[in-house]
Structure 1
Amino acid sequence: MFDFHTPKLPKPLNLDLALLNGGGSCPSQFYGQTHDEQDVYVRYRGGRLSVQIAEKPGADPISAEPILSVDVGPTLDGTISQRQFCHYFGVTVQGVVPTETSPDADRNTDLSGQTTYLRAYLDRITLETSRVILKVCTQAFPNAILVRPVLDEKFRLKELAEVTTDVTDDGVWLIDGTTSVADIKTCPSRYVLPKEGQLQIHLRFDLWKWPRPRSSQRSCEFASQDLGRKLIVAGLRGMPKDEEVAFSSFQISTQFPTSDIAARARLSVLGDALKAKLPEAGLKQVNLDTDQVVATFTRPLDPALYQWCKSGPNRWLEVTRESGDGPWLGVCPE
């Protein structure tokens, strides 16, 4: 449930390039050339970095076997500056590491191993259970304050405001290590910035702001037509109002010095407390043409979603088909 990630760098490439350009985010991409005029392509997305060099001048580097392909960053991370790439992975341009030109580079992921990152994505969480999760988080850090960003007309940070657990924004921060909003370091575009002595936990759940289902029901409509019966599926808009239920991913993220054993221990305790609120449930996958169970498995499941499935007939967590002419498959609790 909780994914602690401490980056571990590979051996340096000890590679000197004739030129290197690029940047961006999700992915960050760099384009360069060796002194032998072989093109170079670098890509960083989802925590994975790859470096490819064309086999000969004029060839496409993307078709070449990577000289480096490594999972180094945390889940879904996708931003690195040119200087950071060169510094972390042993690359120079004309004999030197490029100077830093990105104004946001200090907010990119620290891949040195001195910082540990926590990313948790709690899947299929209802609005009801999101409040329970938020309360568990605040109880785990009783001296922390809960703040939300107040934005201006250009969606840039105007100020931080202290809030309670009945927040209706789609994202808040739980800040441990201060009792004052004024003591929190901020940025207009990224809102809350790391600060020594503080543990800043970002909690994001879009149903706080948009509490109705937003996913399309077209596949459900096709399945209902093919099967000749109405299917009730969680998380889709357009379901009968008394049978509608919404869910979304509850995201928890933070970072702390790798040497801070106490912070890791406290976050681990929080993870254990959340596991108790999301017990594992037995699920089955059913061929909806034949009503035959084709697979069973277990996974953590929101208790409110479990009760929704059990409270009426023909209710499914999801309905899919694996191919265009394959059978419709439904997933529900056993």
Structure 2
Amino acid sequence: MPDFDPDQFHTPPKVTPLNLDCISLDGGGWAPSQFEGKTQEGYNIYCRYRGGYLSVEISNEPDGDPLNNGHLILAAGLGPKLHGAMSLGQLCSIAGITINGMQPPMPSLPEMRKNGWLDLSGASSFYDFYMECTVETAKHAATIAHNILEEAYFVETIRDNDHQIVGAVLRNTAAEFETSDPTIIFGVKPSASKLAKVSQNVWLEDLCSNSLVVDLSCIGFQCPPPTFARSHYIDKRLENVGRSIKIAGYDNECLHQTLWMRATFPADDVDKRSTLQQITDKLVALRPEIKIQATDLETGERLPSFDKTERVDPKIAEWALSDVENWLRVRVESVNEQNIIVGYRPSI
């Protein structure tokens, strides 16, 4: 099997069961999901799931506080990095917890979709790819991903005036996108009659179960990206030294945002994983690594200790280099316990 980039792929690991029986256990929520309970022996437990990380802590003594006077009995990088929701049934199944000898039921598929719960059993793998870029580059990236395989199709959902999904349509190119969340289907071309069945309860994955379904998300596909709000503190300090600058993302000449691609697929499906890795390789190459130089914007002094090497959208780098007062970003950094205003731009 080929090596796959761990930053894009995640398969939930198998967790050693706690074999813990509780008198009570309840909770819920999103980012984090939190559950509190008491074991048959009277020890309190606290379970938390956020950022893909699941932890269970238990008090050191009966009726004690598991957070302030307890210890960790389970810690697992369970889900994708930005995920933070699970049901009570999932928690108990994964962690090996019962309530009075019984395991709570697992949620149904409609319940999972409604609540944003994922299959964390290890049977499914998750793919997440992010890149900061201009809308032009985002559309180019979508086209590159689409062209990885010959049988690939752009699809967009249709929503009514109440924002409910009432079908889907094929798009020929990324230039035709009308929504911020199109999809690429790798596999058999879906018919118009099949796409008409797409709804809040019937997903593309249900109708194209053998295909690889990759969801895209980028606000700029639908409307202009928002302009970030600048720091009044930074602007005031630069004004005091007579400096006027432009910052990528904060200026209408160079707006950018995050393109997100994600997919869920069977953990043992090497072909789907390989296709996603090919997409990753192509998209990573879109933003070559360049050297970023740091400068104290109040004194003009170069700060080599803050220099970096990172991947940057060439469109953004080109804009930054087009004027000496165009900057990739500006931050407040600490040097010798003093706050200084540091600007970052590509090395010439």
Same fold (TM over 0.5): yes
> Does 2:169 correspond to 1:161?
yes
> Does 2:200 correspond to 1:188?
yes
Matches within 5 A, 1:233-312: 233-236=247-250, 239=251, 244-290=253-299, 291-293=301-303, 294-312=305-323
Name the CA shift for 1:190/1:280 in 2 (closer, same or farther; >3 Å): farther
TM-score (norm 1): 0.90
Deviations 1:130-189 (A, max 9, x none): 121011011113312211222233333222222231113111111122312554685517
> Does 2:100 correspond to 1:89?
no
Q: Which stretch of the first structure deviates more once superposed, 75-84 or 172-181?
A: 172-181
Q: Which stretch of the first structure deviates more once superposed, 77-86 or 94-103?
A: 94-103
Q: Which stretch of the first structure deviates more once superposed, 246-255 or 188-197?
A: 188-197
Name the CA shift for 1:186/1:86 in 2 (closer, same or farther; >3 Å): farther
**Matched residue type, 2:260:** Q
Write the distance in 1 (CA, Å) between the matches of 2:320 and 2:333.
23
1:231 to 238, 245, 260: 245
Unaligned runs of 5+ in 2: none
> Does 2:179 correspond to 1:172?
no
Residue 49 of structure 1: how far off its partner (Å):
0.4
How many aligned positions are there?
328
TM-score (norm 2): 0.86
Residue 117 of structure 1: how far off its partner (Å):
1.0
Give the conservation status (yes or no) of the 8 Å contact 1:213–1:245.
Answer: no
**Matched residue type, 1:318:** R
Unaligned runs of 5+ in 1: none
Give the conservation status (yes or no) of the 8 Å contact 1:317–1:332.
Answer: yes
Alignment root-mean-square deviation, CA: 2.3
Name the CA shift for 1:50/1:303 in 2 (closer, same or farther; >3 Å): same
Q: Which stretch of the first structure deviates more once superposed, 41-50 or 267-276?
A: 267-276
Q: State the partner residue of 1:332.
A: 345
Matches within 5 A, 1:1-334: 3-63=8-68, 64-100=70-106, 103-105=110-112, 108-123=117-132, 125-163=133-171, 164-166=173-175, 167-180=177-190, 182-183=193-194, 186=198, 188=200, 192-193=204-205, 196-219=209-232, 220-236=234-250, 239=251, 244-290=253-299, 291-293=301-303, 294-322=305-333, 326-334=339-347
Give the conservation status (yes or no) of the 8 Å contact 2:129–2:280.
Answer: no
Deviations 1:67-99 (A, max 9, x none): 212211112111211111111111111111112
Give the conservation status (yes or no) of the 8 Å contact 1:149–1:191.
Answer: no
Name the CA shift for 1:72/1:247 in 2 (closer, same or farther; >3 Å): same
Residue 54 of structure 1: how far off its partner (Å):
2.5
**Matched residue type, 1:9:** K
Write the distance in 2 (CA, Å) between the matches of 1:222 and 1:208.
34
Give the conservation status (yes or no) of the 8 Å contact 1:9–1:111.
Answer: no
Give the conservation status (yes or no) of the 8 Å contact 2:181–2:218.
Answer: yes
**Matched residue type, 2:243:** R
Name the CA shift for 1:212/1:204 in 2 (closer, same or farther; >3 Å): closer
Give the conservation status (yes or no) of the 8 Å contact 1:157–1:191.
Answer: no
**Identity, % of aligned pairs?**
29
Name the CA shift for 1:22/1:101 in 2 (closer, same or farther; >3 Å): farther
Give the conservation status (yes or no) of the 8 Å contact 1:186–1:193.
Answer: no
Name the CA shift for 1:76/1:135 in 2 (closer, same or farther; >3 Å): same
Give the conservation status (yes or no) of the 8 Å contact 2:289–2:312.
Answer: yes
**Matched residue type, 1:104:** E
Write the distance in 2 (CA, Å) between the matches of 1:151 and 1:160.
9
